[in-house]
């Protein structure tokens, strides 16, 4: 039976899942130069540390969602966190014991990615399973804020832990993931775990029926999610470069500067979730407003790069815009299916988000940060997404199960 609210301990456990997961890539980024020096590898091979994590995570997410619909969320999330932590230990131990540990580190990263594929999106689905009523939007906003907090903390944490040793961040994954796995297993009560035990073909048939009934609205919601995460991480990669090249910030100071727009995003995500919990009729409006704000920030940034006070405002505005987009988007997507099929929908959404994160930085880098057209082009795409969202997203049709109990 669903409830109207969660206790603080339950909320903390659910929030810890996306917090730990988001450390997977971001915590290592400040240590990349040390990896190159110690392991004797180039930038392409360093990039494989991200690919080895993100690709298996994105590919596995839909299947973990389908499985969670059949056997329950907790029985997937807890072992996934253990695998995530073990992958970190494999990479860390290989770094200590092997003369040429790079291949073993990649294996550890693949294990971590496989574990990450069964975490955040299932935490969202489990939250929606537990809660009914207006507070669902607030709680999903809290999960998004936890994810954002992880993005804020990870570069700072990575820089600090690397002061001990270049391989120390790998061990942090196990230190954090194992207790969270135990807390998920012992501290959360899952109502009616598992669905009807449908076959795989039946699940895909059901997903096809969902797409057939809500396809356009759901597709546009996925596109906006992909674009939002692509823009966020592409913009952060640009900001990391410009802070070092133009403002001469490095190391911990650069990490703290990068934390500013991400903090604005996380705070906005939680505040938006709280605001919308009793105002579900404003979900679409908040979504469109956030997209437009992000597009405006992208257009302004290249024009004010030399304006010491205007540039930070534009950067923060971009974070606020993305932060305003994610909670209503999460609510619309998690409500697009009943409890038995929700894991599939949210997991496909998770794959879209992972691929968005993976695409953003290389696309920004390939086009060139110095090209003004990059920002105008991305801004135009973002405006097009806002227009499509306004015209084609139907919240009432998407949220077909608002009274599920």
Is pLDDT at 196 greater than 60 in this prediction? no
**The two three-digit tokens of residue 145, written as one number:** 């804020």
When comparing pLDDT for 150 and 239, which is higher? 150
Is pLDDT at 28 greater than 60 in this prediction? yes
pTM score, whole prediction: 0.75
Report residue 3: phi and psi, to 5°: -120, 170
**The two three-digit tokens of residue 68, written as one number:** 């969670």
The Cα–Cα gap between 317 and 309 comes to 13
Is pLDDT at 173 greater than 90 in this prediction? yes
Query: Among 100-104, 127-131, 358-362, which range has the highest average pLDDT?
Result: 100-104
The Cα–Cα gap between 250 and 351 comes to 32
Residue 167: alpha-carbon gap to chain centroid: 24
Q: What is the pLDDT averaged over residues 340-369? A: 73
**Which residue, chain included where needed, has tokens 């270049």?**
166
pLDDT recorded at residue 317? 92
Is pLDDT at 404 greater than 50 in this prediction? no
Is pLDDT at 198 greater than 70 in this prediction? no
List the domain boundaries for the chain. Answer: 8-186+196-398
pLDDT recorded at residue 405? 37
Least confident of 189-203, 243-257, 329-343: 189-203
Is pLDDT at 294 greater than 50 in this prediction? yes
Give the count of beta carbons closer than 10 Å to the beta carbon of residue 172.
19
Asked whether 345 and 336 are in contact (CB, 8 A), the reply is yes
When comparing pLDDT for 129 and 185, which is higher? 185
Q: What is the pLDDT averaged over residues 304-323? A: 86
8-186+196-398 CATH fold: Growth Hormone; Chain: A; (1.20.1250)
When comparing pLDDT for 59 and 112, which is higher? 112
CA-based torsion, 130, 131, 137, 142: positive or negative: negative
When comparing pLDDT for 102 and 215, which is higher? 102
């Amino acid at each position: 039976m669903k409830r109207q609210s969660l206790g603080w301990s339950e909320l903390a456990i659910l929030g810890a899942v996306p917090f730990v997961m988001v450390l997977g890539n971001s915590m290592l980024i400040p240590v990349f130069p040390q990896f190159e020096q110690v392991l004797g590898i180039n930038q392409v091979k360093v990039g494989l540390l991200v690919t080895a994590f993100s690709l298996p995570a994105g590919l596995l997410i839909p299947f973990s969602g389908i499985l969670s619909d059949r056997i329950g969320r907790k029985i997937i999330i807890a072992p996934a966190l253990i695998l995530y932590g073990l992958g970190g230990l494999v990479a860390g131990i290989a770094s200590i014991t092997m003369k040429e540990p790079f291949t073993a580190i990649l294996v550890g990263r693949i294990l971590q990615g496989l574990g990450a594929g069964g975490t955040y999106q299932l935490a969202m689905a489990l939250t929606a399973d537990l809660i009914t009523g207006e507070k669902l939007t607030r709680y999903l906003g809290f999960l998004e804020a936890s994810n954002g907090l992880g993005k804020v903390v990870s570069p700072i944490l990575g820089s600090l832990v690397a002061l001990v040793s270049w391989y120390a961040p790998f061990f942090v994954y196990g230190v954090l993931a194992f207790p969270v796995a135990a807390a998920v297993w012992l501290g959360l009560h899952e109502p009616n775990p598992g669905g009807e035990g449908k076959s795989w073909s039946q699940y895909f048939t059901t997903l096809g029926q969902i797409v057939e009934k809500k396809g356009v609205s759901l597709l546009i919601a996925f596109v906006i999610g992909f674009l939002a995460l692509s823009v966020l991480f592409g913009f952060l990669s640009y900001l990391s470069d410009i802070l070092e090249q133009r403002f001469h910030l490095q190391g911990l100071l650069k990490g703290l500067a990068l934390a500013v727009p991400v903090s604005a995003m996380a705070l906005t995500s939680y505040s938006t979730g709280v605001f919308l919990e009793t105002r579900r009729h404003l979900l679409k409006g908040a979504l469109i407003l956030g997209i437009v704000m992000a597009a405006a920030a992208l257009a302004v940034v290249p024009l004010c790069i030399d304006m010491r006070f205007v540039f930070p405002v534009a950067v923060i505005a971009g974070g606020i815009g993305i932060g305003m987009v994610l909670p209503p988007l999460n609510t619309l997507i998690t409500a697009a299916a009943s409890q038995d099929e929700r894991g599939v929908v949210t997991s496909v959404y998770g794959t879209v988000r992972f691929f968005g994160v993976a695409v953003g930085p290389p696309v920004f880098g390939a086009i060139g940060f110095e090209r003004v057209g990059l920002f105008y082009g991305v801004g135009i795409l973002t405006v097009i997404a806002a227009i499509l969202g306004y015209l084609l997203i139907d919240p009432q049709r998407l949220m077909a199960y608002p009274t599920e109990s």
